[in-house]
Amino acid sequence: MESLNQTAAQEFIFSAFPYSWGDSVMCFVPLLFIYTFIIIGNLVIISVVQLNAHLHTPMYFFINALSFLEIWYTTATIPKMLSSLLSEKKSISLNGCLLQMYFFHATGISEVCLLTAMAFDRYLAICSPLHYPTIMTPQLCAQLTLSCCVCGFITPLPEIAWISTLPFCGSNHLEHIFCDFLPVLRLACTDTQTIIMIQVVDVVHAVEIVTAVMLIFTSYIGIVAVILRIRSAEGRRKAFSTCVSHLTVFLLFFGSVALMYLRFSATYSLFWDTAIALAFAVLSPFFNPIIYSLRNKEIKEAIKKHMGQAKIFFHQSRDPK
């Protein structure tokens, strides 16, 4: 009996996925399309920025880094979602669950830090344009990006290490579409320490989110104050247009993340938990390449240029004469 319980505790079964084959396929196809689009879209942005010397600026350096993180952020969860939709058991091992939680939160926190650094970059570009080139050097950009990743990959380690020591007894049905702190903690053997640690996890997430939001909000207060002092409407439009993409991504990502991680004692139904999780784990990364390509004139023009070059190359290869 003891070995049976031990075996059961070594895996979790996702109970938020549909169990009928027809419903699973209906969810699988659009999710596969979205994941493919995210990977290709971000790879296009990375390639375009790397291939065009005029895009080697701090703003595009950060966009490049964000696209790279987005690929790994979605890869931490979506491939397992896809396999679970087509699998009969829809299970994940305990170690696999811990790894998924770690990489999902590590890349997610890295993105939060990077979006904060991008707000600082826009603040300097608009509020201190004369000092901007000497302050925001390539070395500083690299240091900020590295610091964001170090912060992102260190912050979740204590929580993951603590969860790995917990005993899991009773049901192993995880009411979520991927492994996350609160759904997993609910499956731990309930005691006072676990309840206290759940509250600690809530507070940690709240501090991370609120700190980033406050820093970004402060940056945009300064940006708006400077933009409003610009006399010409065209000047104001140009200044604000450099921030629109970042601001849109920030609102989209942080809005859904706040709904999930700033709930404290509030509970949602399984439907709303799943919908909110899809918003920040799938839909937000899906819209990011669209926002940064369609809302950015320089990236659009660079993509058109390379598509034109590709067409010429293919025509020449098909017709050597």
Please, which residues bridge with residue 91 across strands? 13
Please, which residues bridge with residue 174 across strands? 14
Q: Strands 91-93, 11-14: parallel, antiparallel or unpaired by DSSP?
A: antiparallel
Q: How far apart are CA 73 and CA 253, in angstroms?
A: 13
pLDDT at 269 (0 to 100): 79
pLDDT means over runs of 10, the chain (321 residues): 48 91 94 96 93 90 95 97 93 95 95 94 91 94 96 91 84 91 83 68 80 92 89 81 84 84 69 88 92 77 76 64 53
Question: Taking a C-beta distance cutoff of 8 angstroms, is the pair 106, 150 a contact?
Answer: no
Q: How far apart are CA 41 and CA 37, in angstroms?
A: 6
pLDDT at 286 (0 to 100): 94
From residue 39, alpha-carbon distances to 45, 84, 177, 184, 286 in Å are: 10, 20, 20, 28, 9
The helix or strand, by DSSP H or E, that contains position 93, with its residue range, turns out to be strand 91-93
pLDDT at 2 (0 to 100): 43
Degrees (nearest 5) of the Cα angle 272, 274, 192?
85
pLDDT at 304 (0 to 100): 80
* DSSP collapsed to 3 states, 181-215: HHHHHCCECCCHHHHHHHHHHHHHHHHHHHHHHHH
